[in-house]
Structure 1
């Protein structure tokens, strides 16, 4: 009995930490059924603790539920829903930032399914190491590196030209690469870095590759977003370069909203061409993007490194939703996806007017002439 009691207390504390962490970061909301179950169990255990002798049988039930909640919490909220593998033989996929984290694991799973995968990365050395790793784990020989720096429109255009020279088709584009800085920096094009790399770079890259994607029978575009977009309400169109007011967290949040709005506008414009485009929140994943957090947060994350796997997803788990969005045969476009399921974002974020305005301003800033 003592062991079960301790286990239930540990389970309850674990679920409390995970739920609080996820609710604060908008990864789940207060309406999630696990929140209700956990609250009910906590109240029941508290009530029983006042006089447990008369309700020993009920205490066993409550403690069993507390332990079950912990397992449910980890599988539903932390680990996420795994995709169903499909055959991608003959398909070609481009994954940006494929040398680490979510990008690497997404590339690995696409290769495992038979796709030829293009590793679109800045560093050739790191990309080649990633390719060697994926080749060993999947047996694939259809892996190729092409240099891409999303901070440079020149590099993006050069990448698109190099890809065209390969004469390969394109079936799947995963816009995965992104950054999070706590200090304001600028790209080589003079744009604020998070806006430039998280949105303008993928916008230009996608636009340049659309003609090739249109030739595919079932083209897919996956934009990696974040639940953090729910923290913001709009795009600061009067200060897109964050010259007036820069805050690392705030800017990151609205650039992730830009990923979703880009998805909406792509879907509105090109759904008739059979392009399925979706925005994916991969989960709260342990990745290198956290290396650029504010020093205080980075130090806290480092100190809590042992506990992070209990509350955050691994890179392979973070790939579940991107791979689902890239391969599910029943999935339609224009959606926001979390944990391998389609979720409805807050109504105020599903703003077509704001999406159109962002598209127009992105065209102006990148020099892309939209057709």
Structure 2
């Protein structure tokens, strides 16, 4: 009889493993690098944060606003984006925060957003690709892409490529791609982009997309050498966010119950992304992967293979060019 993820909750080892993970995560809740202790100002700088209406993205955007940046909240939902906009303006005292709509699962939406940015903005100094979802049901987008790959990888890939010239013009500039330690359980199979050869169990598809995030970042950094634009990826930690909103109620209940006591808050989870985007000590660093404690670490071996990176990057280029 095939194994299904719901079988985990009836297994005696489930509780032990979950509590062990929680205890390990608890020890990593707070980074030695604290964003509010960093004196860097972003006055005169422009930053875009995708998925900025909630969770990690909202706190990244709030931090940038507090530093005086012009911040563009790139959100899918207008109502929730407007609420976040008002909250960030009020909390930061910075009125130069703006909402622009984007759905990273739609290449048409990504192109429309990028065109608007290129028309409105003269400079772009920070791009944080944060928007992502885990546990999305099996589905194919109108572009013919598997929905998780479109949302978590192809959309951000296209967005970044469309904004590259503006980033180069504004150099020094930084691209920050939020991945996950779950990439260690991901695999590279280019047929996945179209929904083939995928197993939909827990976060399996999400893991594949997060591996591609790092592979893409590394190749992008190589191609950007000498331009003044850096690109890095990171693991924010195990964070209490809405990334798991697509799981069934039991998984969400368990995750949220344990998370209250042991997992990072969204504000704490934003730390490593803010570190990559603004810290003086990360200036000039590119093509690297940071953990939730803002430390440089090695990603999975497949993420460090330059041949795999070049092949995957070129495939995504061809894919987005013809769609």
TM-score by length of 2: 0.87
Residue of structure 1 in register with 2:11 after alignment:
none
**Larger RCO, structures 1/2 (Cα 8 Å, 6+ apart):** 2
Q: Match of 1:330?
A: 281
The equivalences for 1:146-161 within 5 A come to: 146-161=100-115
Matched, 1:189 2:140: no
Out of 225, 228, 234, the position equivalent to 1:271 is 225
Q: Secondary structure at the match of 2:153?
A: helix
Which residue of structure 1 aligns with residue 40 of structure 2? Answer: 86
1:247 aligns with 2:200: yes
Deviation of the 1:368 alpha carbon: 6.9
Aligned-pair RMSD on alpha carbons?
2.1
Greater Cα offset, 237-246 or 318-327: 237-246
| Mapped contact 1:92–1:168 kept (Cα < 8 A) | no
Q: 1:53 maps to which residue?
A: none
Asked if 1:100 corresponds to 2:54, the answer is: yes
Q: Following the alignment from structure 1 to structure 2, what is the Cα–Cα distance between the partners of residues 258 and 95? A: 20
Q: 2:259 aligns with which of 308, 314, 337?
A: 308
Distance 1:152 1:182 in 2: 15
CA 1:80–1:368 in 2, change beyond 3 Å: closer, same or farther? farther
2:98 to 141, 144, 150: 144
Report the CA distance shift for 1:210/1:197 in structure 2 as closer, same or farther (over 3 A). same
* Aligned with residue 356 of structure 1, among 294, 307, 310: 310
Shift of 1:123: 1.5
Give the match for residue 270 of structure 2.
319
**Residue in 2 that maps onto 1:44:** none
CA spacing shift, 1:348–1:192, aligned 2, 3 Å: closer
Aligned match of 1:177: 131
1:22 positional shift? 6.0
CA distance in 1, matches of 2:81, 2:219: 31
Report the TM-score when normalising by structure 1.
Answer: 0.77
> 2 CA distance for matches of 1:209 and 1:368?
18
CA shift, 1:335, in A, is 0.8
Question: 1:213 Cα shift?
Answer: 0.1
Are 2:169 and 1:212 aligned?
no
Partner Cα distance (1:345, 1:214) in 2: 27
How many positions carry a matched residue from both structures?
301
- Distance in 2 (CA, whole Å) between partners of 1:296 and 1:18 is 14
Displacement of 1:170: 0.1
Alignment of 1:282-293 (within 5 A): 282-293=236-247
Deviates more, 1:165-174 or 1:207-216: 165-174
Change (3 A) 1:115 1:368: farther
Partners in 2 of 1:315 and 1:368 — Cα distance? 37
Contact 1:160/1:208 (8 A) holds in 2: yes
Output the CA distance in 2 between the equivalents of 1:164 and 1:19: 48
Q: Which has the higher helix share?
A: 1
Runs of 5+ consecutive residues of structure 1 not aligned to the other structure: 1-15, 29-72
